[in-house]
Structure formats: structure tokens, C-alpha cells
Chains A and B, each alone.
Chain A
């Protein structure tokens, strides 16, 4: 019986079989490169840099750039590079965070390359793991972004379609309430729920993992609100006409999966191939995560993240406007 119910709803069949296959094909196409992805590392400019760079560049697995000390630090903190090589008092210093994915492999390759540089003349190598520069510090802002996304999708899309399926929306339609009033009220109630959720993640990060919050919490709050409006609006657009739970679940997965993968939640999105980058840049979550990291880890102020704020603001307005325009009660 359940089986017949299932195969007789084309929407469910597509989202169960068709959609996962499409995802496999899409991801397979994106990641079908024959060699493993390069490991980004940086060398701080110094008297010895030229030789170090040459040695490191001799290893095809490493993607090497030469930077000044400050840029190197920033890039390391943002997770753009896995290993930062510098010279301190005649000793080659390798800064890394072993909790980050791929760092161990990068470390082995860097060690090997630098030892080969001076055969017979052992190089002194120090490994430095600095607190506040760990993967968890990088991860917490991404988790905030991820939760805002999840709340916007599941909390909004699912609820709206359920109200439509149960004919509650039909009942509301015959009242004098306008659909824009309904949707703005819905958005407000979501904001009241979402802000404490983000606060809980920050609090956990601070008290459990000693994640330092360098920037202003008010700026973080501003970003959280803009992010919440963006994703709530997106959830509403997705749910604006869907008539079954299966359809809206599929549409939400279709929207969420690329954002999970490409949006810089768990690993830096710069590591995707160049042809993927335009997609990365149009996702609101990329901008949200980037801005959250700048504020939380580096103490950026509102002025420093204006482009991201602008993008999220515009996205919020467009998403909510589109949602109100497309929304159908029945």
C-alpha cells in the first residue's frame, strides 16, 4: 500500500531516485580531476625565501605563494593556507593547525621538500600550533551560517507547506489578512527563534572551545539577522507554491546541498576549481560565512564588511519580495 502510494506520486519518485542521481552526476563532474587537489601553503618573504620557495615548488602536490608576514598570518587564520613557513633565528618555523583536514599531509610534503633543499645539512624545523588559530575557530562562524540556513529552510519551508497541505492556509485566505502581513509575521517569529540559536552557538564556542570573539557582538547580531532574513526569504520562495511535503523537501535539498558544499561551512571554498568559483560567489552563505569570520576572528567592523552586508541586504529584500509575489494560499 505504502509502495503504491509512493510510486503514484511522481514528485516523490523524482526526489527519491532522480534527484540523488543528478547530484552524483553533478558532483562527479565537478570533482573528476585525476590528481588529488593541491595543498595551499605560503612562505614568508625572507633572505632564505627564494631557496625555500624553489624547494617547495619542486613538489607538485603543493601550491606555494610568497607573502609578507601579516598577509601570511591572516591567510592562515582564514584557512586559505594549511601551512605557513617562516624563518626565525635561523630555524625554519612551520606554523600549522593539526586539527584542520589535510594539514598532516601538507606538513609531510613541506617537511620532505625542505629537507631535500639542503641534503647533508640538516634543517632545523619547528612545528607551531597556535591557540586561537585552530580549525574550531574557523568552524564556529561557518556553523552559525549553516544553522541559519537550516532554520530558514526547514523551519519555514516545511511549516508553510504543512499549513497548505492541512488547508490552514485556505482558512487564512478567507480572512481579511493580506498575504504580505502573514509572511512578514512569519518572518518576525522566525527571527525571534533564530537569534538565540546563533547566540547559543557563539556561547558554546566561547565557553567550551575558548573561541575568541575579536569583533563586536552587535556586528555579529546584524549579520545573523540579515542572514536569517535571507534564508527565511529563500525558504518562503521555495515553499510559495509547493503542494506536497515531498516536493518542498526535494526543493530544499536542492538548494541546501550546494550551499553546504560550496559555501565555506566546513572547508574553505577557495579550494574548489576555478570554474566553480562563480557559483560560490552567488551563494548568500558564502558571503555570510566570510563576513562572520572577519568579524569574529579578525575583529572587522561594519566598514570592513560593507560588500558582504550589501550583498546580504540585497538578497534579503529580493528574496522576501519574490516570496510575497509568488506566494499562493492554496
Chain B
């Protein structure tokens, strides 16, 4: 099939509360291909959840067009979309006194076709908890149950809104494996996250969302390559601004870009093994000392900072 799993064109969503008008999504275009895991990445309040909820039929767009599995959110097509998608909302809550197996049986009953409850239980390693009430589950187990409910119908398209927020590393890995297993079986995923690591690990393509628009879209590797260098070298140098010039830093071997922030120097480079000795020689010649040095691979976080001038986490303060 050549038809895209999701097509979004010119999507706008404006919330009006009294005189305040908040533009949550501001002319967003996107195409999610069949069989891929697509990640929407961005700080809180960027419009990720609103976009996903419009695709899920939970919210109405103010403007624009959304086509899900070749269908639109209108008339009889609505129930067909609902039969074919699986959804895990941000912060899913359940009926507290129902057990895991009861919840899964309930969700399975909504769909014409799907997996058996036993299959889903073992996919998500919930065997030991099948007769536990949902209020007694840990955060990780509850989140696995939420995704299990989304997958019990064997959907063609899965929406996951921040599936691993607040989870410990082990629970996160378990969920990642389940999502990768689903993709291996031919499934398509549209997910949101604000974990770079998660996007790099899981997503075939990533769209970076800020202020209701997609500001960059590529594979994680492609986005990182757009930074010009694969590595970042960071150094703490006392009296940096007064003694080192921008030109001196730029002249170091393979440096693509650099920034000064107080005593903090950050450089995007192609070959750290050439840059670091060069920097040390430069400092030695000037009789200066270095308080700290770190090198790492360029991450999506660096891409985001470059594109928006902000750290992803800044959005959390809203």
C-alpha cells in the first residue's frame, strides 16, 4: 500500500478561553508512512498532544485536514477509524477496582477482531499481575497495561502519547521492546516524547515541534548529521571570554561551530582526538588552566538547542 498512515495538512488548533486565544497548533503538515515509528519531539506545550488527539478524533481541528488510514473523522468513517487504531493517552487512568485481566477483556470486547487477552498479557509481561487490581500496579505496570489496552485489538496504527514519561529505565526498556515488536509485525506508530534518547532509540523519523509547528523533520541520524559534526566537546575554562578569541577556537582542527557561555565553551566537531590536544596546547601557550573537559556524541538535544535556542527541559517550567 502506498497510502500514508496519517496525512496532516495545514492543521491549526486555537483554544479560546474568554479573551485569551492560545494557538496550540499553527499550520502543521505531516505525513506518517505505513510501517514506521514516527516521533513528535518537543517541549511541553509545543502542541504535540493536541496534534495527536486531533488524529485520534478526541479534538476537533480549527482548520486543516487530517486523514487517518485513508479515512476522515466524519460520519460512518469515524467508527471504522476507531476499529483500526489503538490509543494510549497521556496519563491513562483505569477503573481502580478492576483487575488487569478484566480491563483487557473489556477493551478487547470493543473490537471485532484482535489478539487474545492471554497473548497481550504475555507480550507485556503482565502474567504475574493478571488478577491484581489496577490501583495496586506500579507506574511501569500501569503504563504497560495502558499500551496493552491499545494493542489488544491488533491495530494497524498505534498512537502513544508520552508512553514512558515518569518510568524507571527498566520499565522503559520493556515498553520499547514491545513497541519494536509491534513494528516488526507491520504496525505503524505515531508517538510523542520529550526524551531524546527514546526518540533516537525507537523512531525511524522524528519531527521536532515547537510553537505548534514542525521545525525539523528527518531520521534521528539525519538530524544529528545536520549539526555538521558527530561530536560535541565541552570545556570549563576560567576567564574564557577575556583570554580566548572566537577566531582562535574556530581555527582548531575540525571545529564546525562553537558557543561561549560564561566560562563554558561548547564546540561541535568532527574529530575530538584532534580538537582536544589543540585546545590544550592553546591554553598552555597562554598559561591558562582547564577545570573540566567532556566529549560526547551529538544528540537530538543538541539539534533542538540549535534550532530553538532553548533546552527541551525549559518547556517543563510552563
Contacts and interface: CB of A to CB of B under 8 A. Distances in A.
Interface string B92-124: 111100000000000100111000000000000
A174 B56 CA distance: 7
A174 B79 contact: no
Interface string A171-190: 10111111000000000000
Contacts of B58: 170, 173-174, 330
Contacts of B89: 167, 170-171, 174
A174 B93 contact: no
Nearest to A168: B93
B31 interface: no
A166 interface: yes
A211 B109 CA distance: 46
B91 A176 contact: no
Contact of B95 (A168, A175, A176, A178): A168
Contacts of A177: 110
A176 B56 contact: no
Given A173-B58, A176-B83, A167 B93 contact: yes
Contacts of B110: 175-177
Contacts of A176: 79, 82-83, 110-112
A176 B84 CA distance: 9
A171 B87 contact: yes
Interface string B284-298: 000000000000000
A174 B95 contact: no
Contacts of B85: 174
Nearest to A166: B93
Nearest to B111: A176
A168 B111 CA distance: 18
A50 B299 CA distance: 105
Contacts of A174: 56-58, 82, 85, 87, 89
Could you say which of A167, A168, A174, A178 has the most chain B C-beta atoms within 10 Å of its C-beta? A174
B111 to A, nearest CB: 6
Contacts of B149: 171
B82 A175 contact: yes
A167 B112 CA distance: 24
Interface in B57-84: 57-58, 79, 82-83
A168 B93 CA distance: 6
Contacts of B56: 174
Could you say which of A168, A173, A176, A178 has the most chain B C-beta atoms within 10 Å of its C-beta? A176
Given A176-B110, A176-B111, A330-B58, A171 B92 contact: yes
Contacts of A166: 93
Nearest to B79: A176
Nearest to A182: B110
Contacts of B87: 171, 174
A304 B107 CA distance: 46
B116 to A, nearest CB: 18
Contacts of B95: 168
Could you say which of A167, A175, A330 has the most chain B C-beta atoms within 10 Å of its C-beta? A175
A170 B92 CA distance: 9
A7 B107 CA distance: 39
Interface string A157-171: 000000000111011
B121 to A, nearest CB: 19
Nearest to B87: A174
Contacts of B93: 166-168, 171
Nearest to B91: A167
Contacts of A170: 58, 89
A166 B94 CA distance: 8
B163 to A, nearest CB: 14
A59 to B, nearest CB: 61
Contacts of A330: 58
Interface in A135-169: 166-168
A92 B95 CA distance: 66
A82 B111 CA distance: 61
26 contacts: A167-B89, A167-B91, A167-B92, A167-B93, A168-B93, A168-B95, A170-B58, A170-B89, A171-B87, A171-B89, A171-B92, A171-B93, A171-B149, A173-B57, A174-B56, A174-B57, A174-B58, A174-B82, A174-B87, A175-B107, A176-B79, A176-B82, A176-B83, A176-B110, A177-B110, A178-B79
Given A171-B89, A175-B107, A176-B79, 17 more contacts: A167-B91, A167-B92, A168-B93, A170-B89, A171-B87, A171-B92, A171-B149, A174-B56, A174-B57, A174-B82, A174-B87, A175-B110, A175-B111, A176-B110, A176-B111, A178-B79, A330-B58
For the complex of A and B, the 6 pairs showing the least CB-CB separation, nearest first, are A175-B110, A176-B82, A174-B87, A166-B93, A176-B83, A177-B110
Interface of A: 166-168, 170-171, 173-178, 330
